[in-house]
Structure 1
């Protein structure tokens, strides 16, 4: 089975997989992990950590916020053969029903304009966890963490412009993912576009994060055609 390793992808563990990670879990998070296993909720793929064998996949689980605002985060490393299936991050149109109603009009307009560009917007973070579990992750100060996968330089420009414009109405954050499957925060990309100093941007890959020139990332659209 081919395993999707891209960050933010949803990863379902087999029952044997859940058994294999229990010795990695802090005692305070055992109940959380047991609930995840019982309800067959997915973990989220994250960057491969230094020191983790290549035959393992790094994933994570985040519990709902506690009363003090902190959120339990449980990093795990699982064998590849412990993965039962993977899917792409959830699309924004699917999660709108679990988000605050004050955002609905803005999200509907955003989705329509993204559809006009033939681009699917996806989510991660609190909106995704709330949709998956039905538990209250989204708070008054939460962002809507958007993922988009432009296929050309022109699509990249248009979708970042759209997100930048819509951020006046919605608390948008998130990343654009290049054909190389490396990501850059769309706000950082937009700021760099309007600078004149040849600025580098922080690139988040499956195995590392590093600084790169914008032209290097734009070139990936040509090399993956």
Structure 2
């Protein structure tokens, strides 16, 4: 499997590897439930793909969900998908308490031509139905952009939209084939920005991203 991006959801042919016995058991149970893992970065000098997932304790739902790191051979990936869209997240039961904010953001994104995808706690909440979101949870978003100009428009949109919402917007702008940049960082007047991808983590000149 090539061309994977960070935040991609993947389903595997067998459970991934993890560092501890407990985390291997968690990963196996997650896999058996046919739940997706999320792509992070390459591991072991590029041979494996890093994965993540977030579990809750059914016996103690009040505890903070546990983030688990895992890895797999890319050949074990059966299928993949982008994170769920904003409208899907807005329909999950946990979003009811902030329905007005979600409705406002969905309505504004459509005419702006933005396909807002959501990862993080809100994604896991929507995908599992378990308690991942709390009152202060950010909304982690990723938006595909074709170039620096489009990225600037998307970042400006998020900055303006956030002012009227009941939650903070975190997340990244994704340049397919290159990597992701934190949207707040893109608004800062810096000559270099931190570019993250499956393969690299590096500072690059602002003028070079999205080219």
Scaled by the length of structure 1, the TM-score of the pair is 0.81
SS at match of 1:163: helix
Q: 1:32 corresponds to which residue?
A: 26
**Which ranges of structure 2 fall in alignment gaps of 5 or more residues?**
none
- Is the Cα–Cα contact under 8 Å of residues 85 and 117 in structure 2 kept in the other structure? yes
| Cα pair distance change 1:107/1:171, threshold 3 Å | same
C-alpha distance in structure 1 between counterparts of 2:3 and 2:126, whole Å: 21
Q: Which has the higher strand share?
A: 2
**Which ranges of structure 1 fall in alignment gaps of 5 or more residues?**
221-225
Scaled by the length of structure 2, the TM-score of the pair is 0.86
Greater displacement, 75-84 / 139-148: 75-84
How far 1:68 moved relative to its partner? 7.7
Structure 1 residues 34-73: Cα deviation after superposition (integer angstroms, max 9, x where no partner): 4312210010001113x3443x322122213777854422
- Is the Cα–Cα contact under 8 Å of residues 25 and 74 in structure 1 kept in the other structure? no
Q: 1:210 aligns with which of 198, 202, 207?
A: 202
Q: Quick check: 1:8 aligned with 2:7? A: yes
Greater displacement, 92-101 / 138-147: 92-101
| Cα pair distance change 1:93/1:209, threshold 3 Å | same
Q: Which has the higher helix share?
A: 1
- Is the Cα–Cα contact under 8 Å of residues 117 and 141 in structure 2 kept in the other structure? yes
Q: 1:138 corresponds to which residue?
A: 133
C-alpha distance in structure 1 between counterparts of 2:127 and 2:3, whole Å: 19
Q: 2:80 corresponds to which residue?
A: 86
| Cα pair distance change 1:207/1:69, threshold 3 Å | farther
- Is the Cα–Cα contact under 8 Å of residues 52 and 77 in structure 1 kept in the other structure? no
- Is the Cα–Cα contact under 8 Å of residues 119 and 148 in structure 1 kept in the other structure? yes
- Is the Cα–Cα contact under 8 Å of residues 90 and 123 in structure 1 kept in the other structure? yes
Q: How many residue pairs were aligned?
A: 206
